[in-house]
Structure 1
Amino acid sequence: MGRTEFSKGDGALPDKVTVFDDDYPGVANLDAALLAALRTAATDAAEDGVKFFVNSGWRSPEYQKRLLREAVIKHGSVEEAARWVATPETSPHVSGNAIDVGFEARAWLATHGARYGLCQIYANEPWHYELRPQAVTDGCPPMYADPSQDPRMRRA
C-alpha cells in the first residue's frame, strides 16, 4: 500500500530487498541494534534455506502520514485505521525501531526470533518485528492484539 508513490529516500522498498541491502534508507536507517540482530538472525536462517526479505523498515514521517491516510480510507475511521497504522509521531517505523518482513522470515522468526531479541509485537501483524533484548533470556513479551492496544501508540 503506497509503496510505489514514494521514493527510496522516504523508505519505500522494491521487492526482494534483504536486511543486508544498505543502499536503501528503509534498511540503512534502521536502529543499529535492531539491524545487527536482524542480520545475525538472517545469517542463521540462511542455513535453513530462509531469506529475510524486508517489506518495510524505516519510513519518513511523510510516508507514514500517507499510509495512515490510506488506512483511514480503507478502514473507514481513524479508530479502525489505528489497529493497523500508527501516526508518524508514534510509529516505530519512523524511528527505525520496527521492520515488516516477508512470509518466510516471519515464519522462521516466529519460532527462532526470541533467541535474537526479535519479537512479534502485534497479534494481527505477524510480519511486524521489533527488538526486545530481554527476550534472549526471558522470551518475547505478550503481544498486543493490535497497535491500538499499545500504550506507545497513544497520542499525548
Structure 2
Amino acid sequence: MSTSAIDSVMSRIGAIESRFDASAISEPQPGAVPVVDNGVEFDPFGDVYQNAVRVRDASGFMPAQLGPTDGLIGASGFTSFRPGPAGAGAGGTAAVNAAINGLAGVAGVRPVGGYGSMPVPSSLRGFGNGRIPTEALTPLAAQSGHRLYAPAAASWNNVVTAARADGIQLRITDSYRDYDEQVDLVRRKGLYSEGGLGATPGTSNHGWGLAVDADVTDPATLQWLRTNGPRFGWVEAVPREPWHWEFRPEQV
C-alpha cells in the first residue's frame, strides 16, 4: 500500500476515533488541528446571499418550527440567551474555557439573533473596534490568513476539528476585520441598517476579532453549525446572515 493510501486510511481512522475521544476537541496542540483549504469560492457578500438566506429558511431550523426531539433549547428553559452584562467581556471565565473545549452547552439549535451588544473583553476595549494590533490577535491554526481574539481562535480551531470528525469541512471567508476594511465593505455593500450588508464602521463584531463568516453553501454545514456551534460558544447572531457566527460563550 502506498504512503498516501496509508495516510488516507489513518486519517479516516483518526476521524472516527475522535468522535469517541473527548480530548479531540480540547485545547488544540501544535499540529493537532486539521488545516483548511483557503481556496473558498463562497462570498458571503456576493450573489449567494439570497440563496444562503433561503437555505436558512428552508432548513426547518427555526425555533418556532422545532419540537423537543429536534435538539432545540426551548425559550422557556433558555435564560442564558439574554444579552450579557455591559462590558462583561469574554476572557478568563469558566464559560470561555468550557466553550474552547466544546462544553459550553448541550448540542442543539439556539435562537437566531437577539443577543444584544457584544460583551467585549477588557483586554480589547482599549484598542478600539477595528484597531486591534496584529500581535494582540491569534492566527487560526485551522486556516491561514485569519486572526481572532485568542479564546475565540482556540474555540474555532476545535470547532473545525469536531466538524472534520463528522465529515464536515468548515471554511471561513472572514475573521478579524479592521476599520478600513469595514469602511470598504460599507462602500461596496451598503449599511445593514439601510438594507445593505455592512455594519457601521467601528461597530462590527468582526472588528473585535469575535466573529467569523463561514461557508454555508452546503445545507449540511449550516445544520452542523447550528447544532454544534453553541457547544463551543458560537451563535448565529444576525437573522439575515446565516454565515455570520459570533463567539459569545457566556450567552449560549
Q: Could you list the runs of 5+ residues in structure 1 that have no partner in the other structure?
A: 1-13, 141-156
Find the counterpart in structure 2 of residue 21 from structure 1. Answer: 143
Q: Shift in Å at residue 78 of structure 1?
A: 6.1
Q: Shift in Å at residue 55 of structure 1?
A: 1.4
Secondary structure of the equivalent of 1:111? Answer: helix
Find the counterpart in structure 2 of residue 90 from structure 1. Answer: 203
Say if 2:62 is the partner of 1:62.
no
Secondary structure of the equivalent of 2:245? Answer: strand
Q: Shift in Å at residue 19 of structure 1?
A: 6.0
Find the counterpart in structure 1 of residue 164 from structure 2. Answer: 46
CA distance in 1: counterparts of 2:186 and 2:201, whole angstroms:
8
- CA deviations on 1:27-65 (whole Å, 9 max, x unpaired) are 12x111111111111111111111110111112211111
Secondary structure of the equivalent of 2:205? Answer: coil
Find the counterpart in structure 1 of residue 232 from structure 2. Answer: 116
- CA deviations on 1:84-141 (whole Å, 9 max, x unpaired) are 2112210111221110001154331111111111111011111111111134xxxx3x
Say if 2:194 is the partner of 1:79.
yes
CA distance in 1: counterparts of 2:248 and 2:206, whole angstroms:
15
**Higher radius of gyration, 1 or 2:** 2
Is the Cα contact below 8 Å between 1:121 and 1:128 reproduced in 2?
yes
Is the Cα contact below 8 Å between 2:182 and 2:202 reproduced in 1?
no
CA distance in 1: counterparts of 2:185 and 2:198, whole angstroms:
7
Give 1:41's aligned amino acid: V
Is the Cα contact below 8 Å between 1:19 and 1:53 reproduced in 2?
no
Q: Could you list the runs of 5+ residues in structure 2 that have no partner in the other structure?
A: 1-37, 42-139
> Higher relative CO (CA 8 A, sep ≥ 6), structure 1 or 2?
2
CA distance in 1: counterparts of 2:206 and 2:248, whole angstroms:
15
Is the Cα contact below 8 Å between 1:15 and 1:55 reproduced in 2?
no
Sequence identity (%): 30
Find the counterpart in structure 2 of residue 151 from structure 1. Answer: none
Secondary structure of the equivalent of 1:130? Answer: strand
CA distance in 1: counterparts of 2:241 and 2:143, whole angstroms:
23
CA distance in 2: counterparts of 1:92 and 1:78, whole angstroms:
15
Aligned residues: 114
Is the Cα contact below 8 Å between 2:172 and 2:213 reproduced in 1?
yes
Find the counterpart in structure 1 of residue 244 from structure 2. Answer: 128
Using structure 1 for the length normalisation, give the TM-score.
0.64
Is the Cα contact below 8 Å between 2:163 and 2:169 reproduced in 1?
yes
Correspondences of 1:144-155 after superposition (within 5 Å): none
Moved over 4 A (4+): none
